[in-house]
Amino acid sequence: MSGNLITNPGAESGLNGWTTLEGQAAVITYGASGYPTSTGPGPTDRGTSFFGGGSVARTRLQQTIALPLLSDVDAGRARFSFSGWLGGYAAQDDGVRLSVEFLDSAQLPLGVVVLGPVTASERGNNTGLYLRTANGTVPPGSRSARVLLLFTRTGGTSNDGYADSISLSVSVPGTNLLTNPGAENGLTGWVTAEGAPAAILYDTSGYPTSTGPGPGNRGARFFAGGTVARSRMTQTVTLPNPAGIDTGTTRYDLEAWLGGWTSQNDRAQFTVTFLNASGQTLSTVVLGPVTATDRGNATGLFLRSATGFVPVGSRSARAEVLFIRAGGNANDGYADALSLALTPGSM
């Protein structure tokens, strides 16, 4: 993992590393009269200072960063984690919007992610800062990232949009923890919990083809629901590096290619449940189903993904694929290229 790519992410070095595009930003000390305190809502690891909007209606700060891991970026493997603590003052709606643009070598935007503003209503009219986060895939072709803070005043004389602990990191997910994620070994590694899941060859008559919608790196087979109304298969994996997980900074990346047959609403759903050492559920993430409408009534499989942080205390993860038949004889819920990968974080 790259670590935080942003220079001076929390105003501890004044405005060093940031370019003022508009207005006049302020560096404010926690506990200054009329401003957030060191014990109020805000980062637990906050320093002594945070960014404010100064005394003008609009202030903009910018920082442009060269991206690492370019070969992984271009292969679509690089993931970003973007976060910031954003807030304001009491019932005023002064706020700050944090964004990142991913740019190609000609500085043209390939994608943008926006966090905030955090409104007075969202803050419960409290003075303080609140965490906002986003995760995703760095657009292939990206060479730099432009981070922008926009502080906006809606009333009063001070621009009371506040920001602190801004972070942008880039990483490549770890190894897929699932055994036989694409049916290349039949149902090996999976436990049938209900019905009769099947492993089917691409290009079998009446099923998805090897050239239709589906994984670019698909093998010869995919999973399907068999000939019953409901099929379920499960797999439980032990999670690596429990000490890292318990720091709260280990990220998960889930992917599944899910689909069905023409206009039928047979479908598949991929669920991962994180469990503690006693087998109790800590959190659940669900991908799909991909409906006939989602597929445009095309036969094939389509990518669904999710990313987030592994809950502290997690020791295993239970993966489950549920196939549901809506009509006909065959259960035409399809799944392939299932993936659960973990990426260690950095404190």
Q: What is the pTM of this model?
A: 0.67
- The dihedral over CA atoms of 65, 68, 72, 74, expressed in degrees to the nearest 10, equals 40
- Parts of the chain belonging to CATH 2.60.120.260: 19-171, 191-343
Q: Which residues contact 122 (CB under 8 A, 6 or more apart)?
A: 130
Q: Give the mean model confidence (pLDDT) for residues 121-130.
A: 96
Per residue in 68-83, pLDDT (tens digit) is: 999 999 988 898 989 9
Position 135 scores a pLDDT of: 82
What are the tens digits of pLDDT across the range 8-35? 999 999 999 999 999 999 999 999 999 9
pLDDT exceeding 90 applies to what percent of the chain?
89
Residue 275 near residue 311 (C-beta atoms within 8 A) = no
Instruction: Give which of 260, 345, 263, 269 is closest to 304, Cα–Cα.
Output: 269
Average pLDDT score, the chain: 95
Q: What is the pLDDT of residue 150?
A: 98
Q: How many CA atoms lie within 13 A of 50 on its CB side?
A: 31
- 332 exposed, middle or buried (CB, 10 Å; 0-12, 13-18, 19+)? buried
Q: What is the pLDDT of residue 173?
A: 80
pLDDT of residue 1: 62
- The confidence score (pLDDT) of residue 217 equals 84
Instruction: Say what the pLDDT of residue 347 is.
Output: 39
* Identity of the residue numbered 268: A
Q: Which residue has the tokens 């994620």?
A: 181
Query: What stretch of H or E contains 71?
Result: helix 70-74
In this structure, the number of other CB atoms found within 10 A of the CB of residue 58 comes to 15
Among the four given CATH numbers 3.30.930.10, 2.60.120.260, 2.130.10.10, 3.40.190.80, the one describing domain 19-171: 2.60.120.260
Give the class (CATH, top level) of 191-343. mainly beta
Question: How does pLDDT run across 148-204, given as a tens digit for each residue?
Answer: 999 999 989 999 999 999 999 998 888 899 999 999 999 999 999 999 999 999 999
